[in-house]
Amino acid sequence: MKIFWLSFLLVMISILAGWFWSYIFIQEVYTPLNSQWSQGSIPMSVPDAPESMRDIENNIAWIAEALGPSVVSIIINRDIVIYRSDPWWFFQEPNATVRRQVWGGSGFFVREDGLILTNKHVIQDTQSDYTVILSDGREFEVEVIATDPLNDIAIIKIDAPGESFPVPEIIEETSDVRIGSFSIAIGNAL
């Protein structure tokens, strides 16, 4: 019973101390700071805001239209085995092989001769064939040139001599990028 009253006393002291310090904070810190802020005497540094959300939307739409032709869709096709089974689904045996689209990804041109940068996980299957579809609907078979599994990057190439493909221009120097910088991801996977 003695422990109960001791615990009760400690809880009551904690509650009273919390009320006391809250009162002191409101009287000594919050109220003067709030009155200075409402009078405009506290300088605030806020970055310039855009004119409107419509300006941001228009800029994103313009960037997507400008860079869209350099973005490609990568289709992964593979032979799929179809199995036949008995009426009870107990025994299954291969019946046929069908070529199907099993995956999709996105990439973009880095050189006018058809060199494309994509992710390694998009072209990781060595048993598959890869087809690139351009923004104008043309389709090309591609060859895997190089992969970097650590950075999840791969380079593939369209073999189309004499053909010139759109390459995106650099919009902004990467040295200006910082935490919180605005970025846009453009792709057309699947």
Compute CA 130 distance to the chain's CA centroid, rounded to the nearest angstrom. Answer: 23
Mean pLDDT of the chain: 78
% of the chain beyond a pLDDT of 70: 76
Query: Alpha helix locations (H) across the chain?
Result: 2-25, 31-39, 53-67
CA distance 14 to 98: 73
Given a cut of 90, whether residue 155 has pLDDT beyond it is yes
Q: Is the per-residue pLDDT at 183 higher than 70?
A: yes
Give the distance from CA 186 to its chain's centroid.
10
For the ranges 47-51, 63-67, 121-125, 147-151, the lowest mean pLDDT is seen at 47-51
- The model's pLDDT over 2-53, given as tens digits with 9 standing for 90+, comes to 777 777 777 777 787 776 666 665 666 555 555 555 555 445 444 555 567 7
Q: What is residue 100's three-state secondary structure?
A: strand
Per-residue confidence (pLDDT) for residue 91, from 0 to 100? 72
- Answer with the residue of higher pLDDT: 129 or 171: 129
- Count, in order, helices (H) and strands (E) of the chain: 3, 6
Question: 186 near 65, Cβ under 8 Å?
Answer: no
Sign of the Cα pseudo-torsion (93, 97, 101, 102, in order): positive
**How far is the C-alpha of 22 from the C-alpha of 28, rounded, in Å?**
10
Asked whether residue 180 carries a pLDDT value surpassing 70, the answer given is yes
Q: How confident is the model at residue 125 (pLDDT cuts 50, 70, 90)?
A: confident
Measured distance CA(136)–CA(62) in Å, rounded: 18
Return the amino acid letter for 42. I
Q: Please report which confidence band the pLDDT of residue 158 belongs to, taking 50, 70 and 90 as the band edges.
A: very high
- Residue range 80-89, pLDDT digits in tens: 888 777 777 6
C-alpha 63/C-alpha 68 separation (Å) is: 8
CA separation for the pair 179, 171 (Å, rounded): 18
- pLDDT at position 44, please? 47
Predicted local confidence at residue 161, as pLDDT: 86
pLDDT of 3 reads 75
Please give the Cα distance from 40 to 26 (Å, whole number).
Answer: 20
Range 80-88 contact pairs with CB under 8 angstroms and sequence separation of 24 or more: none
